[in-house]
């Protein structure tokens, strides 16, 4: 019998998150304040986040224990299954062995609750009664709402009004979990009221929803804000994915030659590959390839420079060292909205700069083509983001077909696309287009990077 | 006139659903979304539309890069501290 699923017993679920900051050959560069050029301190973040999360942000401790209460919640869906994609391998007629770790079996449908649960717990322990956040399509809002219900923390989600009106199922899910989900702009914050005064029918925007959430969090002592990607502590919470996978790959008597994942805020893929990259850093597995996949239309890591850049055109925001295309870069649209940041998790940028991870870019149509092939062989309708890494995994498997090598490929799969069927519909009806940002324009944008204040 | 394309519909990847052009030209604090060129350039002469209705200064502001979340947050915290200082 060919074993296609590898189950880890709940008693073997990892009890610690892995902190890559302990093993980095060079420490992460600090976030700098634009005015002073000095590093931002943990105290600067305290108005929004619990101190435990802030300390995790800067910790260099290798293993951080997962609180027992968080483990108890994790056990309502974890460990997630590691799959062997026999049917995809057969369709590709490749000697490659393809595995995928699928986070879509979570109650909220993605990897997001791995951090939402931890963040709710730490806030609860600090006496915080309420957490406020924003959501666009509703994935992070759903995860936080579910986690809030588990820890009896009140969750309030500012959802962009146009999504609120168009995606009632996400809103309803949040409300079922007990959260308060209100459309942004709202009358509950100054930012919202100001906008409604100028434009009563305003459909909202993500920027405004964030402003409302942060304004509310800062206005009450019992309230914090929460973020579901980018920050170091969010990536840390996701490392349970990779720690589980290490054990499951051992059960499969396999070790990956290539690990593929999509990068946006970076949290799911980092959660998978960070626990493996220590083998590469230590020299035990120097040939391990870690491939970060991003859209060709927004080549942040594949073509961007690693430099200090302001977050806005006038240079008022703090300087952060990350891969960037500079102020002048106008990223074009792709369906995987989460992949469109011009800068992503600083940890991923740093590892790229150190030459420990590769980055490749894919164009839109072939990614959906890969998503369709994956659905028709493995059955899973993937979110638009994981379709990018499925594309690259398929390409690598086809290279194996040419070379005759039986490489082991591991896909980090962040979740299902059941709320993204309209994107598939547009692909199937031929409405999607390829787009690649011209090299000349990228060079022009990079020329505007600022000098670091001394 | 600025309303000429308002009824055209497109799927917005940021909010994950259909929006009309009016949304795209006004979602950025009443100004166009910074992604408007990429989204619309294959459907209309979006550059001409922008040139016709916005000054160079406004266009520079519109197409400033969206801030990565982490930077935006630290910036908002700084602003909050400033407000507290002013109150005290």
Query: Is B31 part of the contact surface with chain A (CB cutoff 8 Å)?
Result: no
Query: Is A7 part of the contact surface with chain B (CB cutoff 8 Å)?
Result: no
pLDDT in tens, A40-96: 778 878 889 999 998 998 899 999 999 999 999 999 999 999 999 999 999 999 999
Q: For A199-254, give the DSSP string.
A: -TT----HHHHHHHHHHHHHH-TTEEE---SSSHHHHHHHTHHHHHHHHHHHHTT-
Confidence of residue A241 (pLDDT cuts 50, 70, 90): very high
**Highest mean predicted confidence (pLDDT) among A100-104, A132-136, B51-55:** A100-104
Would you call A65 exposed, middle or buried from its count of C-beta atoms within 10 A (0-12, 13-18, 19+)? Answer: exposed
Chain A residues within 8 A of B75 when measuring between CB atoms: 311, 316-318
Rounded average pLDDT over A384-408: 95
Whether the pLDDT of residue A310 is over 70: the answer is no
Distance CA A354, CA A12 (A): 33
Residue B1: partners with Cβ closer than 8 Å, 6 or more residues away: none
Distance CA A234, CA A232 (A): 5
**Could you tell me if the ipTM is greater than 0.90?**
no
Whether the pLDDT of residue A313 is over 50: the answer is no
Confidence of residue A327 (pLDDT cuts 50, 70, 90): very low
CA A116 → CA A102, A226, A255, distances in Å? 18, 8, 30
Q: What is the DSSP letter of A380?
A: -
Nearest to A162 among B15, B67, B72 (CB): B15
Distance CA A321, CA B74 (A): 14
Q: What is the pLDDT of residue A316?
A: 37
Q: What is the pLDDT of residue A370?
A: 96
Distance CA B62, CA B29 (A): 10
Q: What is the pLDDT of residue A88?
A: 98
User: Strands of A180-184's sheet, edge to edge?
Assistant: A180-184, A154-160, A130-135, A223-225
Chain A residues within 8 A of B78 when measuring between CB atoms: 33, 44, 318
Neighbours of A170 (CB within 10 A): 24
Q: What is the pLDDT of residue A454?
A: 39
B14 and A204 in contact by Cβ < 8 A?
A: no
Query: Is B63 part of the contact surface with chain A (CB cutoff 8 Å)?
Result: yes
Residue A110 has phi, psi (to 5 degrees) of: -155, -175
Please state whether the peptide bond connecting residue A185 to the residue before it is cis, i.e. omega within 30 degrees of 0: yes
Exposure on the CB side of residue A399, measured as CA atoms within 13 A = 10
Distance CA B58, CA A233 (A): 37
Distance CA A58, CA A41 (A): 9
Q: What is the pLDDT of residue A95?
A: 98
Distance of CA B41 to the CA centre of its chain: 15
Neighbours of A148 (CB within 10 A): 28
Do the strands A31-32 and A319-324 form a parallel or antiparallel pair, or are they unpaired?
Answer: antiparallel
Chain A residues within 8 A of B50 when measuring between CB atoms: none
Distance from CA of A219 to the nearest CA of B (A): 9
Distance CA A43, CA A142 (A): 29
CA B65 → CA A44, A214, A339, distances in Å? 24, 20, 15
Scan residues 300-329 of A and list those with Cβ closer than 8 Å to B: 311-314, 316-318, 320, 322, 325-329
Which of B65, B76, B86 to substitute to test the interface with A, most A CBs within 10 Å? B65
Rounded average pLDDT over A28-42: 70
Structure tokens, A320: 């952060």
Distance CA A393, CA A390 (A): 5
Query: Is B80 part of the contact surface with chain A (CB cutoff 8 Å)?
Result: yes
A445: left (phi over 0), alpha (psi -120 to 50) or beta: alpha
Q: What is the pLDDT of residue A339?
A: 34
Whether the pLDDT of residue A306 is over 70: the answer is no
- Look at A152 and A320; give whichever has higher pLDDT: A152
Q: What is the pLDDT of residue A324?
A: 47
Query: Is B47 part of the contact surface with chain A (CB cutoff 8 Å)?
Result: no
Query: Is A159 part of the contact surface with chain B (CB cutoff 8 Å)?
Result: no
Whether the pLDDT of residue A322 is over 50: the answer is no
């Amino acid at each position: 019998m060919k074993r296609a699923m590898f189950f880890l017993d709940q008693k073997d679920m990892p009890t610690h998150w892995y902190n890559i900051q302990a093993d980095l050959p060079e420490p992460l560069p600090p976030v700098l304040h634009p005015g002073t050029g000095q590093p931002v301190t943990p105290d600067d973040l305290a108005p929004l986040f619990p101190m435990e999360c802030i300390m995790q942000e800067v910790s260099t401790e290798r293993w951080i224990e997962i609180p027992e209460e968080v483990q108890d919640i994790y056990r309502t869906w974890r460990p997630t299954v590691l799959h062997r994609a026999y049917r995809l391998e057969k369709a590709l007629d490749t000697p490659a062995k393809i595995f995928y770790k699928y986070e879509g079996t979570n109650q909220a449908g993605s990897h997001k609750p791995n951090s939402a649960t931890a963040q709710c717990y730490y806030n609860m322990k600090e006496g915080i009664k309420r957490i406020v956040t924003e959501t666009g399509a509703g994935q992070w809002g759903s995860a936080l709402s579910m986690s809030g219900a588990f820890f009896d923390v009140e969750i309030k989600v500012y959802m962009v009004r146009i999504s609120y009106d168009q995606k009632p199922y996400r809103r309803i899910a949040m409300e079922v979990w007990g959260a308060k989900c209100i459309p942004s702009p709202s009358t509950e914050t100054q930012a919202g009221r100001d906008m409604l005064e100028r434009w009563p029918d305003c459909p909202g925007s993500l920027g405004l929803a964030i402003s409302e959430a942060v304004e509310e969090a800062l206005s009450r002592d019992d309230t914090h804000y929460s973020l579901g990607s980018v920050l170091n502590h969010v990536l840390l919470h996701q490392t349970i994915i990779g720690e589980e996978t290490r054990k499951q790959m051992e059960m499969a008597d396999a070790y990956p030659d290539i690990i593929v994942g999509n990068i946006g805020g970076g949290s799911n893929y980092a959660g998978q590959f960070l626990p493996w990259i220590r083998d590469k850093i230590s020299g035990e597995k120097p040939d391990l390839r870690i491939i970060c996949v991003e859209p060709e239309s927004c080549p942040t890591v594949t073509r961007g420079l690693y430099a200090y850049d302001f977050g806005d055109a006038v240079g008022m925001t703090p300087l952060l060292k990350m891969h960037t295309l500079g102020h002048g870069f106008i990223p074009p649209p792709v369906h995987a909205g989460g992949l469109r940041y011009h800068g992503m998790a600083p940890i991923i940028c740093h590892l790229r700069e150190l030459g420990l991870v590769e980055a490749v870019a894919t164009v839109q149509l072939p990614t959906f083509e890969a998503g369709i092939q994956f659905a028709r062989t493995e059955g899973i309708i993937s979110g638009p983001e994981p379709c990018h890494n499925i594309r690259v995994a398929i390409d690598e498997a086809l290279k194996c077909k040419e070379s005759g090598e039986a490489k082991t490929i591991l896909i980090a799969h962040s979740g299902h696309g059941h709320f993204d069927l309209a994107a598939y519909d547009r692909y199937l009806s031929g409405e999607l287009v390829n787009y690649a940002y011209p090299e000349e324009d990228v060079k022009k944008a990079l020329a505007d990077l600022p000098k670091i204040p001394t | 006139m600025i309303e000429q394309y308002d009824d055209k519909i497109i799927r917005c990847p940021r909010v994950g659903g259909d929006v009309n052009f009016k949304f795209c030209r006004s979602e950025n604090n009443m100004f166009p979304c910074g992604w408007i060129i990429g989204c619309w350039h294959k459907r209309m002469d979006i550059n001409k539309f922008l040139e016709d209705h916005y000054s160079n200064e406004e266009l520079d502001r519109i197409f400033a890069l969206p801030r990565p979340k982490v930077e935006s947050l630290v910036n908002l915290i700084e602003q909050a501290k400033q407000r507290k200082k002013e109150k005290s």
